[in-house]
Structure 1
Amino acid sequence: ARKGGRRFAYITVEVDPTSDLAMRDNRYPITEFGVENLVSRLIDVAEEEAALNECSVRYFRNAKVDGRMCTGIEVTKQVQREDSRFYQAKIYIDNELQVPIHFETYDWPAKEGGEPQLLEQYTYRNLQVNLGLTDADFDRNNASYQLRKPAKSDR
């Protein structure tokens, strides 16, 4: 992580993506936030839910996320089960990029007729595809990141 404010802007440290600090207010570690992981999770959940045949699906065109034209998909469960991951999911597919750029899930309303409770919400902003990045661009040992080596007492 970088950008430690004015006083510590020069300091670069490595943070375990599954640590309490990194996971604060997150359901998944940063290593799972990519579009490919989101699509994979959506497919897995869709296959599980389709087998139950207990959801309604609504498509809507001309939705917008951060000014980008999208196709929206709203999945709402009709039957509440103890192992339900969500009550309602909304996915927004960018019409130009053809990838999801916004995703949100809701839990069942606390009481009948109430509003569903937001569980998670992710938006991919300023997304650029096919940038030619390599594995080295994501390697913690990349010298250009200037990560400090842990002291012997840190190990």
Structure 2
Amino acid sequence: MARISFSEQGLTPFEKLLGHNKMILEKWFSLEECFSNSKTFTPELKEEVRRTLAFNNGCEYCKAKGNPSDDITNSKVLAATKIADLVSKKRLIDNHEFNSLKKEFNDQEISELFALICFLTASQRFGALLDLQPSCSINSSSQINN
């Protein structure tokens, strides 16, 4: 159970927590759509960044959607997840690490990658602060007792 009640706004448990503030929910969802619809990065890169961040940001709801992959071979995905890991561990990126990133991405891509990392971090920290837990459509404990 989350620390606050779910609102009537939104479809997912996350949206229902954010939905106590309808305008914020709408703008948040709009920004989420921008990242989802952007063709700058592959869905694989975005998902691996999300998974990497989830485990460092402590959101149980987000962690339940999957572990980071162990067998990434794409150099852009590897670079993006490495930076996401460093940032989510509250570590500043030194010049060497940033120059390595510039070998894989142009300035526009770096800007969008950092914006994506910050947006996902904010979303995951919001979930963690409110103790958002993974949802399950079947209440297994009530079925066992029946």
TM range (shorter): under 0.3
Q: TM-score, structure 1 length as denominator? A: 0.26
The structure with the largest strand share of the pair is: 1
Q: TM-score, structure 2 length as denominator? A: 0.27
The structure that has the greater radius of gyration is 1
